[in-house]
Chains A and B, each alone.
Chain A
């Protein structure tokens, strides 16, 4: 198990470096990172810098919430969002910011390019909850926390989202 750094640890503010070696050492690290994620209650994603390793790698797995469309467990290496569409307000928390949740605006749909553990390029299109989790984790790779994007702790801004949802129907 790896230790999860918590804010205001300055390492969480660092921009991570691309992964260059897709080797056994990387696999071993991913195994330990995943074990760390699984040990954290309700955690749907974890990024390498959260455990003090500033490389561009994150794991996202929202399959524990099956009502949301998802791609299962994703190991995202050197990920890049190539397209954004729409925006939505949603509630986020983070194991690097214990005992706090807040509202953050994220793109509703994204296209994502990343490499897997074998160094193969993969492309995904995702939306909603999974897209939010990916955007949350990718922020960690750029030294950003959801605190940096906080809109409101209160519910009033949800009205706009509700209005948008209804308007589409």
Chain B
């Protein structure tokens, strides 16, 4: 019986990583579910849901050549393979200001204590080397109102950081 695995590959960014991995999986008779990749600096990572009939060991061996050639770290975990259950975020949180330690921890601690689930998080360090600024965008799902959450977050991070929370209105037509 086919089983689902979460395949994660991490390494130095280079052209052709996705093609090498997915090509090997396709040639080996695997089926892809959802996938997400990110590139930060010169590092690359991809997570993909892979459905495969012949066990974890065979799945790893399918990817061996590509992993070796591209100097990737590979991680394979059996998963439930839950498709068709996307969580739709309803809040968008933007935090930005002069960079300092603890911004992400302070913000996400508030979110966690309120039971908000983070669907998407992205942060950038912008500005200049002398005066770096930190920019964070989060999409989250939770019951708290945008206004209430914004005031709690502003209190948690203190002055010096801009915090905006807005409803992420979804048109369903």
How far does the Cβ of B125 sit from chain A's closest Cβ, in whole Å? 15
Residue B104, interface by CB 8 Å: no
Residue A154, interface by CB 8 Å: yes
> In A83-131, which residues have CB < 8 Å from any B CB?
90-95, 98-101, 129
Number of interface residues of B (CB under 8 A): 18
Pairwise interchain contact B172-A95, C-beta atoms closer than 8 A: yes
Pairwise interchain contact B137-A158, C-beta atoms closer than 8 A: yes
Q: Which residue in chain B gives the minimum CB-CB distance to A132?
A: B171
Residue A159, interface by CB 8 Å: yes
By a CB distance below 8 angstroms, the chain B residues around A46 are 173
Q: Could you tell me the distance between the alpha carbons of A40 and B172 in the complex, rounded to whole angstroms?
A: 9
Identify which of B84, B85, B169, B173 contacts A65 (C-beta below 8 A).
B169
Knowing A99-B84, A101-B86, A101-B88, say if A155 contacts B120 (CB, 8 Å). Answer: yes
Q: Which residue in chain B gives the minimum CB-CB distance to A59?
A: B173
By a CB distance below 8 angstroms, the chain A residues around B172 are 40, 42-45, 92-95
How far does the Cβ of A59 sit from chain B's closest Cβ, in whole Å? 10
Q: Could you tell me the distance between the alpha carbons of A43 and B173 in the complex, rounded to whole angstroms?
A: 6
Identify which of B86, B137, B139, B171 contacts A44 (C-beta below 8 A).
B171
Number of interface residues of A (CB under 8 A): 33
Q: Which residue in chain A gives the minimum CB-CB distance to B164?
A: A162
Pairwise interchain contact B169-A68, C-beta atoms closer than 8 A: yes
> In B56-88, which residues have CB < 8 Å from any A CB?
84-86, 88
Q: Could you tell me the distance between the alpha carbons of A60 and B171 in the complex, rounded to whole angstroms?
A: 11
Q: Could you tell me the distance between the alpha carbons of A158 and B122 in the complex, rounded to whole angstroms?
A: 12
Q: Which residue in chain B gives the minimum CB-CB distance to A58?
A: B173
B110-134 vs A, CB cutoff 8 Å, 1 = contact: the mask equals 0000000000101000000000000
17 A–B contacts, CB within 8 A, in A order = A42-B172, A90-B169, A90-B171, A91-B171, A93-B171, A93-B173, A98-B84, A101-B170, A132-B171, A137-B173, A140-B173, A146-B173, A155-B92, A155-B120, A155-B137, A156-B122, A159-B135
Q: Using A92-B170, A93-B171 as known contacts, list a sample of 19 further A-B pairs with CB atoms less than 8 Å apart, ordered by residue number in A.
A: A43-B172, A43-B173, A44-B171, A65-B169, A68-B169, A91-B169, A91-B171, A92-B171, A95-B173, A98-B84, A99-B85, A100-B86, A129-B171, A132-B171, A133-B171, A137-B173, A156-B137, A158-B137, A162-B94
Residues of A in contact with B (beta carbons under 8 Å apart):
40, 42-47, 60, 65, 68, 90-95, 98-101, 129, 132-133, 136-137, 140, 146, 154-156, 158-159, 162
